[in-house]
Amino acid sequence: MPEVKVPELAESITEGTIAEWLKQVGDSVDKGEAIVELETDKVNVEVVSEEAGVLQELLADEGDTVEVGQAIAVVGEGSGNNTSESSTKQEDTKATDNSNKEQQSSESSESSESTGSKSEASSQDNGQRVNATPSARKYAREKGIDLSEVSPSSNDVVRKSHVDQSQKQSNTQQSQPAAKEETKKPAQQNPSKPVIREKMSRRKKTAAKKLLEVSNNTAMLTTFNEIDMTNVMDLRKRKKEQFIKDHDGTKLGFMSFFTKAAVAALKKYPEVNAEIDGDDMITKQYYDIGVAVSTEDGLLVPFVRDCDKKNFAEIEDEIGNLAKKARDKKLGLDDMVNGSFTITNGGIFGSMMSTPIINGSQAAILGMHSIITRPIAIDADTIENRPMMYIALSYDHRIIDGKEAVGFLKTIKELIENPEDLLLES
């Protein structure tokens, strides 16, 4: 029968996690129809069936880690159910029939075999059917384990891992005397203090690993500057309504100003647009700027391509589209790879100052922060309240010297404080 296999995802991605089965055993499947959602290090990907037919078997459970090329389902010929509910009923009926057959045959078999099948059958006869995946149910029957005695870790769904854990606990209890077992139980620390223990998502684990790698494998420093936002805020205020009319409702935000300023600064200081590859330094001649987006699953960094060739409206549109795709979990792998520089805006959360961590193999990252009205000395005799923003550049000192880092931030500052120059630069 045709197998559904994990497809090639991206050069740097070799495995993923089963996030959700979109089809269940017994459901009809069309050619090219998505049957499972796969969570990778970067984005969620829907895996489609290359054949039409009926989903015969699931070879992996939700939460399992699977590798590229691994078979995860079997599609056979025929017509099946149209909904997961009907497939579930079919599975229930099939499982009950199999249990009854096992119970009948077990009367003439060895007592050790009859124990497992009878215990499962009795729990089903009492109307207390355990909520378990098909593979876990089959696995428990093979092991002779009563599913009603297996405790799931979350969502009340029993999986194969829970069956294994239950068997290990049972074997431990049988092999050790009760007295010794009591003495070997680890003491709970602060039993009166409530805690929640849960497994980290693949994306969060990957982010944690990569952030640690960046910290360990780069000579990362951060330098700061501050920007008087008065002129750019006045320009936005004056051009706001006309910009919306001229560009079909697109709003003029701060990100397009900082993106265009970053492109100009990268052209002036090309080392900031570089990365190290072994003994080589690669200086990028393109300007794909990553914009950090906060989602329920954590921070994602999609890239706005060819920012040097886009105008303000095109950049604002692209940022808005990528942010929406990120929050709707619709980002593709192409949106997430091969960027040259990243901008992150902690100011939207109220951050006044921070030291952002470099994104992947890039050489630097620009951090924006809250705009706060502060008293500023205009000259020796004048102090005025001005809307001020701190900016930060975290950079890899192996590639970028302090002089270039300071010059880069100074260029950003000068262009934002004189937005007409930025428009001419663009």
Alpha helices in 66-190 (DSSP H): 84-106, 111-125, 134-143, 160-175, 178-184
Q: Which two tokens stand for residue 278?
A: 């072994």
Report the amino acid identity of residue 209.
Answer: K
Give the chain's mean pLDDT.
81
The pLDDT assigned to 188 comes to: 54
Q: Which two tokens stand for residue 245?
A: 């009319």
State the Cα–Cα distance between residues 356 and 125, nearest whole angstrom: 59
Could you list the active site residues?
397, 401
Residue 118: pLDDT band with limits 50, 70, 90: very low
Regarding predicted confidence, which is higher, 10 or 314?
314
CA distance to 92, 138, 174, 183, 265, per residue, from 123 (Å): 13, 15, 23, 34, 70
Find the angle CA(370)-CA(205)-CA(295) to the nearest 5 degrees.
Answer: 40
The pLDDT assigned to 313 comes to: 94
Instruction: Give the H or E element holding residue 375.
Output: strand 371-377
Say what percent of the chain tops pLDDT 90. 40
The pLDDT assigned to 250 comes to: 93
Examine the pLDDT at 108 and tell me if it is beyond 50. no
Give the tens place of pLDDT for each residue, 282-291: 999 999 999 9
Give the tens place of pLDDT for each residue, 5-29: 888 876 567 788 888 898 888 898 8
Alpha helices in 269-401 (DSSP H): 312-327
Phi, psi of 186 (to 5 degrees): -65, 140
The pLDDT assigned to 302 comes to: 93
* Beta strands 280-283; 298-300: pairing state: unpaired
Q: What is the mean pLDDT of residues 228-247?
A: 94
Give the tens place of pLDDT for each residue, 175-222: 555 444 444 445 555 667 899 988 877 777 777 888 888 888 899 999
